[in-house]
Chain A
Amino acid sequence: MTKTPLQFRHNGRDVALFVDGGVNLLVALRELIGDMTPKFGCGQGGCGACSVLIDGELHLSCLTLAETVNGRAVETLDGLKDGPNLHPLQRAFMEQFAAQCGYCTPGMLMAAKALLDRNPSPTRAEVVEAISGNICRCTGYEPIINAVLAAATSGRARA
């Protein structure tokens, strides 16, 4: 099969690779780049575990053809922390006990980041809306909602 050359920014770093036609972004990230933070949940956009940001916008990487991110910027959970320093959202998730098994956590964090990037002071209803495409089986959502609200508050306190 012919391979297509593909270049994009992955968490601030340029990557270049060859992909088979029809390969989705989730597979490209996990198997070709080795970034295991986006998770495979359902493969059909029903669970949100594979959420990533493309040019700052929330996307489901399992439903995104890898070729479509050519020349664009892809952010995953792997790029969220700054060296040894966790992102305020990651700290808030820890402090609020917002993870149990942890499988939904990468997608939740990316959905939350997309929200806080465009709306640093969301209401509770806006947080609920922002994570409504992400399924969590363990936490009952409550600690996740609280964590996003806490991260928003800590972000405002710093700014």
Chain B
Amino acid sequence: MAKHRGRGIASVNYPIGMNLGGDPSQALVHSNPSGKFTVSLSSIDLGQGMKSVTRQICAETLGVPVEDVYVDTADSDTGPHCMGSFASRGTHRVGNAVMAAAKEARGVMMEAAAEELEVNAADLDTDGRGNIHVKGAPHRSISTKDVAIAAQFKQGKTISGRGIFLVPLSEVNPETGEMSPATCYAHACLVAEVEVDDETGEVAMVRMDSAYELGRALNPRLVEQQLVGGAWMGISHALFETPEPYYPDPAHGPRDFVEYLMPGPGDICPHDIAVLERPAADGPFGAKGPGEMCANPVLPAVANAIFNAVGVRMDELPITPEKVLRAIKAQGGARPQARR
């Protein structure tokens, strides 16, 4: 009876978004008379940073400080349509829609500023600090607040923009089954090291090393946060969580958090992450999205690591101690594989 260490690897080629009848999202951007901007979305921020990243995209496109942009995701009844926060599509689809809306709003803002400064809008630029000035002549400037006030009360213009981003439906070729479900792909590779106890069947995470290629990381701290948290979900799916432990028999299903197991703070392991940035041609500022891919490579890497450690191929999730122990017994004991 012993504890065996093993290492496993998995790679992921991950489509950004989905394609079931086309994949659109809309955004609306408008300025208030205060010169602050509101982005209206129906896209939901469930902690992944949708509001932060769309705020950044809007501010960058408008050429105003990020503090001057507010993102409202309050109500899908009244907001512009969004397919939803899933399939790792948020940054890419919604980000592109926000960018389009902000571009249109910026056009109106520059026209309004041009009227106030009595110049051609093409000769104007933003300084990113809340001012619009004549190119090459920074002293010939007007604040975005004064432009907003002039547009509202003098010119009778709405500084606003509409945006939609649509990945059109890709029909499946009935002969070959071919289709193009996504316009860009993110990639990941993860190595997991585990320790398997051949007496109890328990699998303990030892460490993980990963590399993620996800286009441009628009907010690197949020990307890191998603990757760290997502890898934990991967561990949880690989080793702990299930509503039906003896599927299809519903017996012994968990009824609460005491029975529905998830890794606690003592079950995690050191995880070294490298983020590689290869901007996507059709992503907002080159972004794709980390999303679901954070969790995906952990599962096969852990299963491969268990094979490397004790020689059993686990093909049902979660890989519970009971399953590992039965598999080891069935093959007549642990058979550690060559370490690579």
- A interface residues, Cβ below 8 angstroms from B: 41-42, 44-47, 97, 99-102, 127-129, 131-132, 135, 137-145
Residue from A47, A101, A128, A142 in contact with B47 in the complex, judged by beta carbons closer than 8 Å:
A101
Chain A neighbourhood of B222, CB < 8 A: 97
Min Cβ gap B321→A in Å is 20
Interface bracket on B: 20 to 34
- In the assembled complex, how far is the CB of residue A146 from the closest CB belonging to chain B, in whole angstroms? 10
How long is the Cα–Cα vector from A128 to B265 in the complex, in angstroms? 6
19 pairs, CB–CB < 8 Å, chain A vs chain B? A44-B256, A47-B257, A97-B222, A97-B224, A99-B47, A100-B46, A100-B229, A101-B47, A128-B266, A137-B233, A140-B230, A140-B231, A140-B233, A141-B265, A142-B228, A142-B232, A142-B271, A144-B265, A145-B265
Q: How many A-B residue pairs have CB under 8 A?
A: 65
Known contacts A128-B266, A140-B268, A145-B265; is-contact A97 B221 (Cβ 8 Å): yes
Cβ < 8 Å to A, chain B residues 264-282: 264-266, 268, 271
B169 on interface, CB distance cutoff 8 Å: no
Contacts of A139 in B (CB 8 A): 225, 228-229, 232
Cα A123 to Cα B225 with chains together (Å) = 23
What residue of chain B has the Cβ atom nearest to residue A41's Cβ? Answer: B257
Q: How far is the CA of A100 from the CA of B266 in the complex (A)?
A: 20
Residues of A with C-beta under 8 A to B232: 139-142
Complex: how many Å from CA A144 to CA B266?
A: 12
Return the chain A residue nearest B258 by Cβ. Answer: A46
Please tell me if the beta carbons of A131 and B265 are within 8 angstroms of each other in the complex: yes
Determine if B141 is an interface residue (Cβ-Cβ < 8 Å).
Answer: no
Residues of A near B229 (CB, < 8 A) are: 100, 138-140, 143
Q: How far is the CA of A59 from the CA of B214 in the complex (A)?
A: 42
**For A128, what are the chain B residues with a Cβ–Cβ distance below 8 Å?**
265-266
Q: Shortest Cβ distance from A50 into chain B, in angstroms?
A: 12
A129 and B267 CA atoms in complex are apart in Å by 11
- Greatest chain B CB density within 10 A among A46, A101, A131, A142 is at A142
Contacts of B271 in A (CB 8 A): 140, 142
Closest Cβ of chain A to B209, distance in Å, is 15
**Closest B residue, CB atoms, query A145:** B265
Decide: B264 and A101 in contact? CB cutoff 8 A: no
Q: Are A100 and B225 in contact (CB under 8 A)?
A: yes
3 closest A-B pairs by CB? A140-B232, A100-B47, A101-B47
Within 8 Å CB of A102, what residues of B? 47
Contact A143/B225 with A101-B47, A131-B265 known, Cβ cut-off 8 Å: yes
